[in-house]
Homo-oligomer: A and B are copies of this chain.
Amino acid sequence: MSAFAPENDLLLRALSAKPVPRTPVWVMRQAGRYLPEYRKLRAEAGSFMSLATNPELACEVTLQPLRRFKLDAAILFSDILTIPDAMGLGLYFEEGEGPRFRQPLASERDIRQLPLPDPERELSYVTDAVRLIRQRLDNRLPLIGFSGSPWTLATYMLEGGSSRTFAKSKKLLLESASVAHHLLGKLADAVTDYLNAQIAAGAQAVQIFDTWGGALPYAQYREFSLAYMQRIVDGLNRSDAGTHVPVILFSKGCSIHYAAMAETGCDAIGVDWTCSLAQARDLTGDRVALQGNLDPATLLAGPEAIRAAVQQTLASYGDGHGHVFNLGHGITPDVPPEHLGVLIDAVRDFSPGYKTENPA
Interface residues on A, range: 35 or more
Interface residues of A in 321-339 (CB under 8 A from B): 328, 332, 334
The answer to whether B171 touches A300, judged by C-beta atoms less than 8 angstroms apart, is yes
Interface string of A98-122 (1 = CB under 8 A from B): 0000000000000000000000000
B165, B170, B275, B334: which contacts A256 (Cβ < 8 A)?
B275
Query: What separation, in Å, do the CA atoms of A298 and B174 have in the docked complex?
Result: 7
Of B217, B295, B302, the contact of A274 (CB 8 Å cutoff): B217
Say yes or no for A214: interface residue by CB 8 A criterion: yes
Report the Cα distance A255→B214, complex, angstroms: 12
Q: Are A171 and B301 in contact (CB under 8 A)?
A: yes
Q: Which of A167, A279, A332 has the most CB of B within 10 A?
A: A167
User: From residue 290 to 332 of chain A, which have CB atoms closer than 8 A to chain B?
Assistant: 295-298, 300-302, 305, 309, 312, 316, 328, 332
Please give the distance in Å from A150's CB to the nearest CB on chain B. 19
Known pairs A256-B255, A274-B256, A275-B256; A175 contacts B217 (CB<8 A):
no
Q: Are the CB atoms of A275 and B334 closer together than 8 Å?
A: no
Asked if B170 and A218 sit within 8 Å, CB to CB, the answer is: no
With A219-B276, A273-B218, A274-B221 known as contacts, the answer to whether A297 contacts B253 (CB < 8 A) is no
A residues neighboring B (CB under 8 Å): 165-167, 170-171, 174-175, 214-221, 253-256, 273-276, 279, 295-298, 300-302, 305, 309, 312, 316, 328, 332, 334
